[in-house]
Amino acid sequence: MSANFWESTHKQWLKSRSEVEGQYSKDHLTLLELKKVHIFYVHLMVRVGGLVGLRQRVISTAVVYWKRFYMRYTLLEKDPVLVGITALYLASKVEECNSKVDTILDKLKAAEKDYGNRFKFPEYTNLDVIHNEFYLMHGLKCQLLIYHPYKDLENFLTTSNLLEIKEESWKFLNDTYKSNVCLSYPPYVIALACIYLCGFVAKDGRVVKRITKWFLELNADMNQVGEVVKDMMELYELWGTDENCFLGEIVDILQKKLSIPTATDTAPGNIVRHTNIL
């Protein structure tokens, strides 16, 4: 990975797992509930970004912005849906593939259909997003450069001659953004964990042996790799396979635990609207 990472603001943002969880405790949710809520909002961002046609790297940058922002603010203070679409807009500019606000708002309404009658997103305006961009950048301390594991993963797969697991490892890598590992671990560690996970799902025993052999010869902190793998296994357990059940849990948390308001919040510096839950 680029040596510049070690001197970057990205590295300065990395916190231990306990520090990240401590920051999130301000939302007055259990850690389990908070993780589920975060999975939901990140999934929404990925869906909207995909409908807009943004590259995966742009979407991932937006997700990191969103996660960093909520290390400083609570979900009640700032509307997570509006922060999410603002992050997509900002990331598209930072990653030099500008997307229009109108397009993002249109695709948010299209994504709303994915959730049936459970969620009704507010009618955000261009001004809402543009106004919000200032507060998002302030929350991020204007530190917008993100190092992703994609390049590291590509390099590892090439040097290890394991290109046949590229597709599977990229799926794992994209899923990591639904967890908090991007807030605690260097990109290269996350990339290694994705290769390690491929060893669990590979059906070809020869591939498993090659992955195992490569890791045995690798000079890396396997404790950190193991921590990322553990977080990912926990993610898949939380996410589950029953989408209706998962969405039902999210509705329950937002209504009963967070009491998400539907009224406009016009206080200076606050995000202006919250999602209606039907």
Polymer length of the chain: 278
Instruction: Give pLDDT tens digits along the chain (278 positions).
Output: 445 888 899 999 999 999 998 887 677 788 888 899 999 999 999 999 999 999 999 999 999 999 999 999 988 888 999 999 999 999 999 999 889 999 999 999 999 888 877 778 889 999 999 999 999 999 999 999 999 999 999 999 999 999 999 999 999 999 999 999 999 999 999 999 999 999 988 888 899 999 999 999 998 889 999 999 999 999 999 887 677 788 888 888 887 777 654 333 333 344 444 554 44
> Can you read off the two tokens belonging to residue 40?
């939901």
CA-CA-CA-CA torsion sign (198, 203, 206, 212): positive
pLDDT, residue 66, reads: 98
pLDDT, residue 23, reads: 80
Q: What is each CA distance from 274 to 17, 58, 87, in whole angstroms?
A: 29, 24, 16
pLDDT, residue 16, reads: 93
Q: How far apart are CA 209 and CA 266, in angstroms?
A: 59
Nearest CA to 2 out of 239, 275, 186 is that of 186
pLDDT, residue 3, reads: 56
CA angle, 59 then 2 then 90, to 5°: 25
Q: What is each CA distance from 180 to 43, 74, 190, 208, 224, in whole angstroms?
A: 13, 16, 11, 27, 14
CA-CA-CA-CA torsion sign (202, 55, 50, 141): positive
Nearest CA to 42 out of 248, 181, 187 is that of 181
Q: Cβ of 46: how many Cβ atoms within 10 Å?
A: 23
DSSP states along 211-234: HHHHHHT--S-HHHHHHHHHHHHH
pLDDT, residue 277, reads: 42
CA angle, 33 then 36 then 38, to 5°: 110
Walk me through the domains of the chain, giving residue ranges and CATH numbers. 16-146+241-277 (1.10.472.10), 150-239 (1.10.472.10)
